[in-house]
Structure 1
Amino acid sequence: MNLLLNVLWVIFGGLWMAVGWLLAAVIMAITIIGIPWARAAFNMARYAFLPFGFAAVDRDVHLGEGDLGTGPLGALGNVIWLVLAGWWLALGHLITAIGLAITIIGLPFAWAHLKLAGLALWPIGKIIVPREMVDYRRPV
């Protein structure tokens, strides 16, 4: 089922949003200073391309230990990301979600775009894992 949903996702808006994430990652990587943001954007581009069957979770909760991306520096990095690229990626996901929500068939894809819009605003400190690896008993 995940394969079918991912194929339909690519057709109905997933491809162009994944390209948006890749563009943001490349621009960040070119600046050299933006390499930490580029890494997060590349991870999110992969998730934006094939979201079904995967989940975005807090890295410190999933791994059980904190790091630079999950502490105060990660929060500062997210604020910088939000100003530089996060708002327009979130806007792209939101516009796509509204377009897909018009039809009943598009509702699951609209919901996935809304989840990605939230990630677009605050991606540092997140990790993409197969849905089977998510421990739903712990807060995410």
Structure 2
Amino acid sequence: MRTLGNILWLVLAGWWLALGYIIAGIVACILIVTIPFGIAAFRLAGYTLWPFGRHVVVARGAGIFSLIGNIIWIVLFGWELAIAHVVAGLILCLTIIGIPLGIAAMKLVPLALVPLGTRVVASDRMLPAYERELR
């Protein structure tokens, strides 16, 4: 089921949302100081292309540099990408089939605003160890 969701997502919204992250990543990699923003943007582009079956894990002890970086990210790129996710979510929610995809787009808004200090992991890694052994 998640493969079908990912294919629908890719066709309807994923490719152009990921394109926004790729453009932000290329712009961020122009300067050496902003390369961490570019790496985060490329990581999020991959997650935006194929989001179902993966989760975002927030590192609670990311530190002050992550906080400062996220503030700079919001000013430079985050607000535009968050608006793109909101617009995509609203457009996708216009149809019954698109409602789950629209909800997924809305769930990506906080990640578009504050990407530093997060990791994207497979859903299987989110399971407790005893459940992973059963699969």
TM-score w.r.t. the length of structure 2 is 0.90
Identity %: 40
Segments of 5+ residues of structure 2 without an aligned counterpart are: 129-135
Segments of 5+ residues of structure 1 without an aligned counterpart are: 61-65
Q: How far did residue 132 of structure 1 move?
A: 1.6
Q: How far did residue 87 of structure 1 move?
A: 0.1
Aligned Cα root-mean-square deviation (Å): 1.3
Name the structure 1 match of 2:110: 118
Structure with max Cα Rg: 2
Q: Which amino acid aligns with 1:36?
A: P
TM-score w.r.t. the length of structure 1 is 0.87
> What SS is found at the alignment partner of 2:108?
helix
Aligned partners of 2:28 and 2:127: how far apart in 1? 32
Q: How does 1:1-140 map to 2 (within 5 A)?
A: 1-60=1-60, 66=61, 70-134=62-126
Q: Which amino acid aligns with 2:124?
A: E
Name the structure 2 match of 1:63: none
Q: How far did residue 135 of structure 1 move?
A: 5.3
> What SS is found at the alignment partner of 2:27?
helix
Aligned partners of 1:34 and 1:121: how far apart in 2? 16
Aligned partners of 1:41 and 1:135: how far apart in 2? 26
Q: How far did residue 134 of structure 1 move?
A: 1.7
Q: How many residues align?
A: 128
Q: How far did residue 59 of structure 1 move?
A: 3.1
Aligned partners of 1:74 and 1:135: how far apart in 2? 27
